[in-house]
């Protein structure tokens, strides 16, 4: 399978939630809302889901997309986390914007 991952948004102040991604699979399907989660136990991805109520009226969450075996989940998780790492590294290596220091006419070298 071919995966193309786009990190849509990264977060620094949302607790364990670090990013939201979209994943295109085999140029045929796209999954939006894959979350990158980081806790003290490690990093993982969470699938997009929806809130529902069970037969007793209790709120539950159900994935609307998910891999059906550990091998598929491992591959999907690996490509999403790799894309996240690349996005973070790119953001950390881009030069920061700086403001130009204004030069007053009295201190200009052209006088």
Q: Per residue in 89-99, pLDDT tens?
A: 988 887 655 45
Instruction: Give the residues of the chain that fall short of pLDDT 70.
Output: 95-111
Tens digit of pLDDT for each residue in 57-69? 999 998 999 999 9
- Domains of the chain: residue spans and CATH: 3-93 (3.30.1120.40)
Kindly list the distances between the CA atom of residue 92 and the CA atoms of 56, 75, 89, 96, 110, in Å, as whole numbers in the listed order: 48, 26, 5, 9, 38
């Amino acid at each position: 399978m071919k995966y193309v991952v786009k990190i849509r948004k990264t977060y620094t102040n949302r607790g364990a939630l670090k990013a939201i991604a979209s994943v295109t699979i085999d140029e045929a399907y796209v999954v939006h809302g894959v979350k990158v989660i980081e806790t003290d136990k490690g990093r993982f991805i969470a699938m997009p889901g929806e809130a529902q109520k069970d037969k007793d009226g209790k709120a539950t969450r159900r994935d609307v997309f998910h891999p059906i075996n550990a091998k598929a989940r491992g591959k999907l998780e690996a490509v999403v986390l790799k894309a996240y790492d690349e996005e973070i590294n790119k953001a950390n290596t881009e030069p920061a914007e700086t403001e130009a220091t204004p030069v007053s006419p009295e201190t200009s070298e052209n006088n």
